Chain A
Amino acid sequence: MSSLLDKARLMMNIHCLGRNLVTASSSLHCVQLPAQKEAHFWYVLPDEIKDTNLLNQYFEILSPSEKESVFRMTGELLKKRAILARALVRTTLARYQINCQIDPKALKFKKNRYGKPEVDLQYTEDWKLPQLRFNISHTSSLIACGVTVGSPIGIDVEEKQRRLKNDVLAFARRYFSPDEIEMLTKIADPELRRLELIKLWTLKEAYVKAVGKGFSNLPFNTFTFQFGNRLKTGIHLRPHVMSKAHEITVEPPDDSKNISGNWQFVLLELYGSHYAAICIEQESTNRGKGSIPVNLMLRKTIPFVEDECIFGTDKAVVIGGLTTLLEC
């Protein structure tokens, strides 16, 4: 719990902000837990956050080791990004706690045996915490946190305009599967090809992060993404005509006993400038009955300041995977 000094400093920060706030955690808008088969996707736009008092407030909720990590980043922009990423995770998860009782600073994290960060639920005695799962991804212009209850989740965000230092096909040949290389090779326009590579990259990242066993246990060239019409899965369509009607499936590595599970994917385009891939595991009882859409709730946030529900707007467009966007 906060010491008197922490409270005093907090009150000072709040006065500086000039807002009518009582405590930091009460200015976090509480939300309902994601339901089964539902994923929540929260994001911040670093360029919108310039108030140093606010950044200090974010910094203060970090753990000592997180603060150390921030200091190790070289340069102000990277430090800011690191602070925002950790603050986004802590404030987001704190919103789901019963009556928002949990101070974002009090959350503890651990790593699974492959190094994937997870919420550490062990430390609480009094209250029963929901089994929140999360994953984050950041670019210089967008930092995102995906949340589910119970289902492993992996997300990845990339800027559409990202240029590879290597040739696109050379990169694909080095890291992607044979079918994917073939698919990319068939795209004549180099710009379209580059965009498809980025989409594939985000999907692959999201998948590996969702599985949570590390990249060396699931090398990118051992699995293939396929885009199909939901009536006829497995048909290769030209990727740049992929639409939200098209299901994204992954053909897992041959050694599939390592990676079991019914993984579902969503591919979004945000603000016309970013691709975001989300991967969650659906219940295996659904297998064979055809796919059920992923229910997805999107929110843009400036923690402690404001949240915006992203629904029915072209700020976020589903460009692949069976998805139902939810109103908040």
Chain B
Amino acid sequence: MASFTATSMSMISLAKPSLVPSARISSPNSVSLSIKGRNFPSITLQPTGRRFQVTCAAKQETVQKVCDIVKKQLALPEGSSVTGESKFAALGADSLDTVEIVMGLEEEFGISVEEESAQSITTVQEAADMIDKLLESKC
């Protein structure tokens, strides 16, 4: 399908690339940032023990797992960008998708989500935060 005319698209103002910090994720536990060409030391998440790795997942792992579940539920093509900021609705999820995603998350993380909480989740990050909070109470 043809894309829209230039006039319609002129509303989008893109952030200037040079000011946006670029993060290179070399491994799930290590992120290095570079802004304007200056490199900052890598930040590495230390695993704190096997038990914590399994039941209290590091936030990044949680986000990644949520992304995977969302991608699977919405049957997104390989290479689709799904990040913490991704809104379910913007990815094309309707309410049936959302409740299926919640079911998938409950299964994956062994948690139980209240109806009130389920409704308040609109982004991947919100889902991950909720999961981490529920997992924390289990540790």
- A contacts, CB < 8 Å to B: 9, 50, 52, 55-56, 59-60, 67-68, 71-78, 80-81, 138-139, 158, 162, 164-166, 170-171, 174-175, 201, 205, 214-216, 219
Contact = CB atoms under 8 A, between A and B. Distances in A.
Interface of B: 1-5, 7-8, 11-12, 72-73, 80-81, 86-87, 90-92, 94-96, 99-100, 103-104, 115-116, 118-120
Contact of A165 (B80, B86, B91, B104): B104
Contact of A216 (B11, B96, B104, B115): B115
Contact of B1 (A76, A162, A164, A171): A76
Contacts of B115: 215-216, 219
B95 A165 contact: no
A165 B90 contact: no
A72 B100 contact: no
B31 to A, nearest CB: 24
Contacts of A170: 103
Nearest to A60: B8
B4 A59 contact: yes
B40 to A, nearest CB: 30
A216 B120 CA distance: 9
A59 B3 CA distance: 13
Contacts of A219: 115
Given A59-B8, A166-B100, A74 B92 contact: yes
Given A55-B4, A205-B95, 7 more contacts: A67-B11, A74-B92, A78-B92, A138-B94, A162-B96, A174-B99, A215-B119
Contacts of B73: 165
B103 A166 contact: yes
Contact of B96 (A60, A72, A77, A201): A201
A76 B2 CA distance: 9
Nearest to A163: B75
A216 B4 contact: no
A52 B4 CA distance: 7
A72 B1 contact: no
6 contacts: A165-B72, A166-B100, A171-B100, A171-B103, A175-B99, A215-B115
Contacts of B11: 67-68, 71
B32 to A, nearest CB: 27
Contacts of B1: 50, 52, 76-77, 80
B8 A73 contact: no
Given A166-B100, A166-B103, A216-B116, A78 B95 contact: no
Contact of B90 (A55, A60, A78): A78
Contacts of B5: 52, 56
B3 to A, nearest CB: 7
B108 to A, nearest CB: 12
A76 B1 CA distance: 7
B103 A174 contact: yes
Contacts of B104: 165-166
Contacts of B72: 165
A251 B115 CA distance: 19
A52 B92 contact: no
Nearest to A68: B11
A164 B120 CA distance: 22
B4 A74 contact: no
Given A50-B1, A55-B4, A77-B1, A214 B92 contact: no
